[in-house]
Amino acid sequence: MKKTLLLTLALLLTIPNLLAQSGKVYLVGAGPGDPDLVTVKGAKVLGKADVVLYDALANPSILLHCKGDVRLIPVGKRAGKPSPKQEEINQLLINEALKGNTVVRLKGGDPFVFGRGGEELLALLDKGIDTEVIPGVTAAIAAPAYAGIPVTHRALARSFTLVTASTKDSNLAESVKWKSLVEQEGTIAFYMGVRVIPEICQQLIKAGMSPDTPAAIISKGTLPEQKAFRGTLKDFTPNYTDYTKLTPGLLLVGEVVNVTENYQPSKDDNGMKVLSITLNRKVSELTPRIEDGVAVATTIASKDPDKYSNDYLEMLKELEFTHIVFSNTKSVEAYFKLCEVKGINVITPKATIITLGKKITDLLSTKGYNAITLGSYNEVASYLLGDKAKAMSSSVDAVTGASKKPKAH
């Protein structure tokens, strides 16, 4: 009896230690595609994550919010392509949290909108793991907005319904209550159903919806490649297009589709992705001059290879930067040392390399790289953006705002 009591007491004493050692999991919505649509809170937790398990639908540049030594684990789900089973993802989250890690499960759109975030939350809570949900912008709202389509309108649609066209048994006709959808007379958004759009349209018509009901297919929502194909239910036949080329996408049905027909939003960036390679600065002075006019502007400090995990560097490589900027010869030497240590070079053949001096250009030439030589960060910004570049005083640090000490001659 005494021995049993002692064992029970020992177990009770270890429970607080186990809980203290356990990490935390954040279920984070990455938004629909545009990296600027991730929430401020989502970006903050990415910045402190030790491990990130991310979807295929999350824009890779969102991962630039992560710290350099992060572990990145792709667990993305794409129709017709192999991916980890949901149970395996759940277990990965549990295992990493039990190691004491801060874990982010980065999910496309919103974690709880057809993202199986609810299943992950239940699995984590079942193991007593501290978990927090950070909502994200879902595609059914964001993609139509980028196309100038309001999903609700006082005169046209007083309800908004989200439907998944992805079914376990592939029997779409029986898995959706089509008559109920038609009777609501509002806007309907179909997720994960691009390949079966003709069948969806036929089922709606069969249930009593007019074949002339406006509809739109929105492909690659909120990305620079977004396209909206407007028509009616009767237009989207099997011969209309090769629907497989429109994924990821969604189908929007309702009178709101025709609220605006010629909406063309102006683009703030030109698609450029610019990487500044410094010696030890976390943020290059080039960034404030160009960040509002390019798709991506980021920095790596090359002096300490241990600051960056192989996962992070591979992610940078996959982003395929259009421009690489070196500010001094020391950063060149340090960067290629980093490449040697890590076995990864993020400079792709299509990238344009820019330097801030002939000595840097000459050094790169010895390593087999051609570069454009410019004289200052202002010149680089003007080269990239023309009149849209922000000109800043060379006597003030563009990042910190501190005055620079004059160089000794």
Would you name the residues annotated as active-site residues? 55, 77, 192
- Name the DSSP letter for residue 165: -
- Integer Cα distance of 330 and 279 in angstroms: 6
CA distance to 46, 102, 221, per residue, from 112 (Å): 18, 21, 19
What is the secondary structure of 237-292 as a DSSP string? -TTS--GGGG-SEEEEESGGGGS-SS--PPPS--S-EEEEEESS-SS-TTHHHHTT
The pair of three-digit structure tokens given for residue 311, joined into one six-digit string: 């996962």
CA distance to 50, 231, 296, per residue, from 45 (Å): 10, 41, 20
- Tell me, what amino acid is at 192? M
Q: How many CB atoms lie within 10 A of CB 175?
A: 15
Strand ranges for 66-193 from DSSP E:
71-74, 102-107, 130-134, 160-164, 187-191
CA 5 to chain centre: 53
Q: Does 84 sit behind a cis peptide bond, omega within 30 degrees of 0 on the bond before it?
A: no
The three-class DSSP label of residue 329 is helix
Phi, psi (rounded to 5 degrees) for 75: -130, 30
Q: What is the CA radius of gyration of the chain?
A: 26
